[in-house]
Amino acid sequence: MTTLTTARTTPGERIVPGAERTLRNRVTLGQAVSDTLAMARRGLIKIRRTPEQLIDVTVQPIIFTLMFTYIFGGAISGSVAAYLPVIIPGILVQTVITTSAVTGTQLREDMDKGVFDRFRSLPIARIAPLAGALVADTVRYLIATTLTIGMGLLMGWRPGGGVGGVLLAALLVVVCAWSLSWIFAFLGVIARNAGSVQGISFLVLFPLTFLSNAFVPVDTMPGWLQGFVDTNPVSHLVTAVRDLAGTGTVSGQVGVALLSCGAVVAVFAPLAVRSYMKKA
Amino acid sequence: MTTTAIEAEGLVKIFGDNRAVDGVDLEVATGSVYGVLGPNGAGKTTTIRMLATLLRPDAGRASVFGHDVAREPFVVRQLIGVTGQYASVDETLSATENLMLFCRLNGLKGAAASRRTRDLLEEFHLVDAAARPLRNFSGGMRRRLDLAASLIAQPPLLFLDEPTTGLDPRTRAQMWETIRRLVATGSTVLLTTQYLDEADQLADRIAVIDRGRVVAEGTADELKSSVGQQSLQLTLAHAAQLPSALDAVLDVLGVAATPSPEARRLTVPVADPARVTDLLVRLRGAGVDLDGLSMDKPTLDEVFLTLTGHATTDAASPELEEIPA
């Protein structure tokens, strides 16, 4: 009986019979990580092969940052320069979170392809095809984050938190976007088609990002709305980013944002993985 | 040690009010090629998907090398390779990138993954196209890559769901050759097909499946002989001698032959092959010249028609399309 040590599959070589193999009953953590990395590598190749799918993370940060700053700057803060410390963290959060919704749409499209059948038939960690796609998508968040911050700096934003504060702020936004992308991954798994994922995602995102402190001071809003805005996790994230970038202080808001992110992952990652396996 | 690769009992899968698979029993011996033959919508793909842990059965049980597909799916996945009806490889990746991905997912690292990828590309004649994205691949190349990806882990059991549907005859013959070589290395293969000649050519045993049920099971020969007797085909040199040939058949074998005058041919049902000699002697005596003769067993087409009451080209019912992969 030959062994499996040789890598060749040429005909004539005997295949090890099922009864003589050592079989594992579950995935180890190490395997889950390496499977996820293999899937992430696939995601990165896909991003490289289809650059047109990067339009949302390249064009949107540039246009939105320009538009919002010059339209609202004078009205809200008296001048564009005074508005920049308010709007750049706000638009950063809004843009990157919006980007995380695209993850769900693309996942849905991807799952309809035959290759997902093969993933399901392989002895790999169940979570890998999902987690890998989500890990690869952090590249998209990094691009959107870099471009938004770069636009701000070009337009004269001089954050008081310095390089360290801005980098921490960027990291926090990327982490939060990644956590939120599990919600959209879940929607992507349970939805019937990519179009409906997009529809539902924007229905959720639009109020969340606009009914926050991202664009305007909260005290200009009616009292009942302030209640919602103050509890909206997006507001906490925006405040945390303003503190980090503006003054370099790690405020309690960072903790609130990270805790919310942890809760989102704890709820939606198992939901997404379970529905994904059921869909098989 | 078990010698049974697949055992299935009473498998049922219901989609809405459609009983796509309605109590399928299968037993596949290790090292054999098992053919599941049936028209579109008969439940072949759904059966394979249940055996390959891609779908949960609604009732019944199945095991692969003694491991239950519902209770030990992770173990079963280490023992199988699945090549679907629609190529299950990544369209945006090149052939090399696809194989490297599946090598890594099968636990091969760095140099070992590259070596296995190179070997498989060579074996499946994909070296020249290895770096191109799959978008430009022909159907045959895609199937070959798909099969190559299924072989990375050298699984002892391979599921091939309609491996040659949509391929041109030459590519189809190559695919058959590949499947035969695989079996020679000790693999067990379960393949589904709509093509009767494919089941006939490749499979040691065949299950005929129709409307979610196994309607017949056995070797190709058993299935054919269960349907009817053999027949003798006689081609005459001269059409004018047809009447005397008919007389000879009636006289020697006691049955009426079916003439097809335009082809100068007679089809004679034969219950006892030994008596064909008597008939041939008699024909020579009567001065009837023969151009050709052959003994024919019933074709699987006829088998299918007899077993199911409808021809193979007839789907069980139009809305019973197989579940897309």
Pairing of strands B290-296, B265-270: unpaired
Q: Is A192 on the interface with B (CB under 8 A)?
A: no
**Do the domain assignments include residue A100?**
yes
pLDDT attached to residue B139? 83
Determine contact, residues A237/A171, Cβ cutoff 8 Å.
Answer: no
Please give the Cα distance from A160 to A156 (Å, whole number).
12
The CB-side HSE value for B107 (13 A sphere, CA atoms) comes to 14
Mean pLDDT of the B64-69 span: 94
Residues 20 through 39 of chain B touching chain A, CB cutoff 8 Å = 30
Q: Which domain holds residue A261?
A: 27-278
pLDDT in tens, A195-252: 888 888 888 888 989 999 999 889 989 999 999 999 998 999 999 999 999 998 888 9
Query: Is residue A25's pLDDT more than 50?
Result: yes
pLDDT in tens, B2-20: 579 999 999 999 998 899 9
**Chain A residues with beta carbon closer than 8 angstroms to that of B165:** none
Write the CA distances from A171 to A148, A184, A252, integer angstroms.
Answer: 13, 20, 16
Q: How many domains does chain A have?
A: 1
Determine contact, residues A110/A188, Cβ cutoff 8 Å.
Answer: no
pLDDT in tens, B246-268: 899 888 888 888 787 777 888 88
Pairing of strands B157-161, B80-83: parallel
**Do the domain assignments include residue A13?**
no
pLDDT attached to residue B196? 79
- Given an 8 Å threshold on Cβ–Cβ distance, is B54 in contact with A117? yes
- By residue count, chain A amounts to 280
Please give the Cα distance from A86 to B122 (Å, whole number).
60
Please give the Cα distance from B7 to B25 (Å, whole number).
8
Nearest to B96 by CA among A42, A249, A280: A42
Nearest to A88 by CA among A44, A35, A148: A148
**Do the domain assignments include residue B256?**
yes
**Do the domain assignments include residue A234?**
yes
CATH at B270? 3.30.70.100
**Do the domain assignments include residue B108?**
no
Q: Is A223 on the interface with B (CB under 8 A)?
A: no
The mean pLDDT of chain A is 88
**Do the domain assignments include residue A18?**
no
pLDDT attached to residue A6? 36
- Among A10, A15, A31, most B C-beta atoms within 10 A, so best to mutate, is A15
Residue type, B64: V
Mean pLDDT of the B48-68 span: 94
The better pLDDT of the pair A20, A52 is held by A52
Query: Based on the domain organization, do B216 and B234 belong to the same domain?
Result: no
pLDDT attached to residue A107? 87
Query: Is residue B199's pLDDT more than 70?
Result: yes
pLDDT attached to residue B2? 52
Of B202, B225, B248, the residue that ends a domain is B225
Query: Based on the domain organization, do B15 and B66 belong to the same domain?
Result: yes
Kindly give, in sequence order, each residue whose CB lies less than 8 Å from that of residue A180, ignoring residues fewer than 6 positions away: A97, A100, A261, A264
**Do the domain assignments include residue B148?**
no
pLDDT attached to residue A157? 93
Residues 157 through 186 of chain A touching chain B, CB cutoff 8 Å = none
- Given an 8 Å threshold on Cβ–Cβ distance, is B90 in contact with A50? no
Q: How many CB pairs under 8 A join A and B?
A: 135
Predicted confidence band at A4 (pLDDT cuts at 50, 70, 90)? very low
The better pLDDT of the pair B223, A148 is held by A148
Residue type, B298: P
The better pLDDT of the pair A127, B57 is held by B57
**Do the domain assignments include residue B125?**
no
Shortest distance between the Cα of B257 and any Cα of chain A, in A, equals: 49
Residue with tokens 């992430």: A40
pLDDT attached to residue B218? 92
pLDDT in tens, B79-92: 999 987 776 888 88
Query: Based on the domain organization, do B48 and B168 belong to the same domain?
Result: yes
- Given an 8 Å threshold on Cβ–Cβ distance, is A4 in contact with B154? yes
Q: Calculate what percentage of chain B has a pLDDT beyond 90.
A: 42
Predicted confidence band at B120 (pLDDT cuts at 50, 70, 90)? very high
Query: Is residue B324's pLDDT more than 90?
Result: no
Q: Calculate what percentage of chain A has a pLDDT beyond 90.
A: 57
Query: Is residue B70's pLDDT more than 70?
Result: yes
Query: Is residue A140's pLDDT more than 90?
Result: yes
Write the CA distances from A173 to A69, A162, A204, A271, B212, integer angstroms.
Answer: 20, 17, 18, 23, 53
Query: Based on the domain organization, do B67 and B176 belong to the same domain?
Result: yes
pLDDT attached to residue B3? 77
Residues 63 through 82 of chain B touching chain A, CB cutoff 8 Å = 64-67, 72, 74-75, 77-82
DSSP string, A97-111: HHHHHHHHHHHHHHH
pLDDT attached to residue B192? 93
Q: Calculate what percentage of chain B has a pLDDT beyond 70.
A: 91
Query: Based on the domain organization, do B51 and B74 belong to the same domain?
Result: yes
| Structure-token pair, residue B309 | 């009451």
Q: How many domains does chain B have?
A: 2
**Do the domain assignments include residue A131?**
yes
Query: Based on the domain organization, do B160 and B75 belong to the same domain?
Result: yes
Query: Based on the domain organization, do B190 and B213 belong to the same domain?
Result: yes
**Chain B residues with beta carbon closer than 8 angstroms to that of A10:** 119, 123
**Do the domain assignments include residue A114?**
yes
Query: Based on the domain organization, do B202 and B250 belong to the same domain?
Result: no
- Given an 8 Å threshold on Cβ–Cβ distance, is B181 in contact with A11? yes
**Chain A residues with beta carbon closer than 8 angstroms to that of B119:** 7-10
DSSP state of B230: E
**Do the domain assignments include residue A210?**
yes
The CB-side HSE value for B31 (13 A sphere, CA atoms) comes to 10
**Do the domain assignments include residue B159?**
yes
pLDDT attached to residue B170? 85
Query: Is residue A186's pLDDT more than 50?
Result: yes
Q: Is B206 on the interface with A (CB under 8 A)?
A: no
Predicted confidence band at B228 (pLDDT cuts at 50, 70, 90)? low
**Do the domain assignments include residue A216?**
yes
Residues 107 through 146 of chain B touching chain A, CB cutoff 8 Å = 107-108, 112, 115-116, 119-120, 123, 133
| Structure-token pair, residue A90 | 């706000």
CATH at B49? 3.40.50.300
pLDDT in tens, A256-276: 999 999 999 999 999 998 888
Q: Which domain holds residue B65?
A: 4-79+155-225
The better pLDDT of the pair B308, B33 is held by B33
Predicted confidence band at B323 (pLDDT cuts at 50, 70, 90)? very low
